[in-house]
Amino acid sequence: MVMHNFNAGPSILPKEVFQEASKAILDFNNTGLSILEIGHRTPLFEGVLNEAVSLLKELMNLDSNKEVLFLHGGASTQFFQIPMNLLAEGKTAAYLDCGVWGSKAIKEAKLFGNVNVVASSKDKNYSYIPTGYEIPDDVSYFHYTTNNTIEGTEMHSIPQTNVPLIADMSSDILSTVMDFNKFSLIYAGAQKNIGAAGVNILVIDKNIVGLAGRKLPTMMDYKNHIENGSMLNTPPVFAVYVCMLTLRWLKKIGGVAAIEKINDQKASLLYNTLDALPMFNLPVAKQDRSKMNVVFTISDPEVEKAFLQTCKDNGMYGVKGHRSVGGFRASLYNALPLESVQALCDLIKDFAAKKG
């Protein structure tokens, strides 16, 4: 059975990335050694890391004051590492509360300073992105989540602000053309558009490092990681290697602009299919729909169960909604081919015709 992977993360990666990674575990670059057994302080791995850094700089079109880091941990580590580095005791940071992950980031920030939640969509189960809020000029930074993986909402423009802008882009990084240089800090926990799980990608403006003036553990201080080029200790070698392969693939197919076109096609196809069928409910406000995570439900629990079974029987993997919200979620990350979305749409239409 052909598998179609709609999982929210870890998620599908390009087929050639799997092939290349599998080969490198047996013999990396014809060295006779596995990528898993090479020293990290060798030209072999330094080549991998350097290529990953320059590919990301190129794909994001980054200014020269931006540093790219590959760190241990996931986005959840950044939830506290950011305020630890950038929010001094007694100072205030502004946060937008748009979903489960953003609210977790808020909780961690409160351990280090004051938090001003400028707006929240919690009143309607995070089914929309708030507008009309103001970001004060005297806060240390403004933090938001560009795409809410669980709730299926996405911010389609960059907020206007005069303070350092920080974004969790874990689930939509490199999916859409945007001015990445507007951000003082971007972070993305693998594995969604970039893999594999077990590494955290940071794009950081050198000028904001040390903003909190706090004495930090060595491994928590961005300054140390920048000075040591992500090699303060043994990095997650294989995860960095898979990131590099994913970035290489993205460049080859034409970069962010090219993948955005395909992502638009995929999202339109699925949303249009679902919109046309009364059996399916789409809880997210239309203008805030995510192009990465399409969330939908079926009201009748029996029909819901039958739909999940049909997905399973037809190799549609990972369509079940997040355990905290239920229903369904189809994730359409960069590596998911249009053909998989077409196959899911065909299944949806077929199912609705039979059960509708």
Examine residue 9 and tell whether it contacts a second copy (CB under 8 A): yes
Residue 41 annotated as binding? yes
Angle between the 255-275 and 43-60 helix axes, to the nearest 10 degrees? 60
106 or 139: CB nearest a second copy: 106
Examine residue 23 and tell whether it contacts a second copy (CB under 8 A): yes
d(Cα 22, Cα 39) in Å, to the nearest integer? 19
Which residue, 62, 64, 60, 24, is CA-closest to 44? 24
What character string, x for contact with a second copy (CB under 8 A) and - otherwise, covers 114-153?
Answer: ----------------------------------------
Residue 149 annotated as binding? yes
d(Cα 107, Cα 351) in Å, to the nearest integer? 42
Pairing of strands 165-168, 142-145: parallel
Residue 153 annotated as binding? no
**Closest separation in Å from C-beta 95 to a second copy:** 16
Residue 148 annotated as binding? no
> Which H or E run includes 239?
helix 237-252
Which of 97, 168, 205, 221 is flagged as catalytic?
168
What character string, x for contact with a second copy (CB under 8 A) and - otherwise, covers 308-327?
Answer: -------x-xx----x----
Residue 335 annotated as binding? no
Residue 101 annotated as binding? yes
Region 86-115 residues binding a second copy, contact defined as CB under 8 A: 104, 107-108, 111
Contacts 24+ apart (CB under 8 A), 186-189: 187/75, 187/78, 187/82, 188/75, 189/73, 189/74, 189/75, 189/76, 189/77, 189/78
Residue 176 annotated as binding? no
Q: Is 85 helix (H, G, I), strand (E, B) or coil?
A: helix
Examine residue 191 and tell whether it contacts a second copy (CB under 8 A): yes
Pairing of strands 142-145, 92-97: parallel
Region 204-223 residues binding a second copy, contact defined as CB under 8 A: 215, 217-220
Q: Among residues 98, 139, 174, 196, which is the contact residue for a second copy, using CB under 8 A?
A: 196
Written as six digits, the tokens of 298 are 């079926």
Q: Is 311 helix (H, G, I), strand (E, B) or coil?
A: helix
Which of 66, 91, 97, 101 is flagged as catalytic?
101
Residue 177 corresponds to which amino acid? V
Region 56-85 residues binding a second copy, contact defined as CB under 8 A: 72-77, 79-80, 84
Examine residue 21 and tell whether it contacts a second copy (CB under 8 A): yes
d(Cα 225, Cα 214) in Å, to the nearest integer? 16
- Reply yes or no on whether 137 is catalytic: no
CA Rg, the chain, in Å? 21
Binding residues for a second copy, how many (CB under 8 A)?
A: 66
Catalytic residues: 101, 168, 192
- What are the binding residues for L-glutamate? 41
Contact positions vs a second copy (CB under 8 A) = 1-3, 5, 7-13, 18-19, 21-23, 25-26, 31-34, 36-41, 72-77, 79-80, 84, 104, 107-108, 111, 189, 191, 195-199, 215, 217-220, 232-239, 242, 315, 317-318, 323
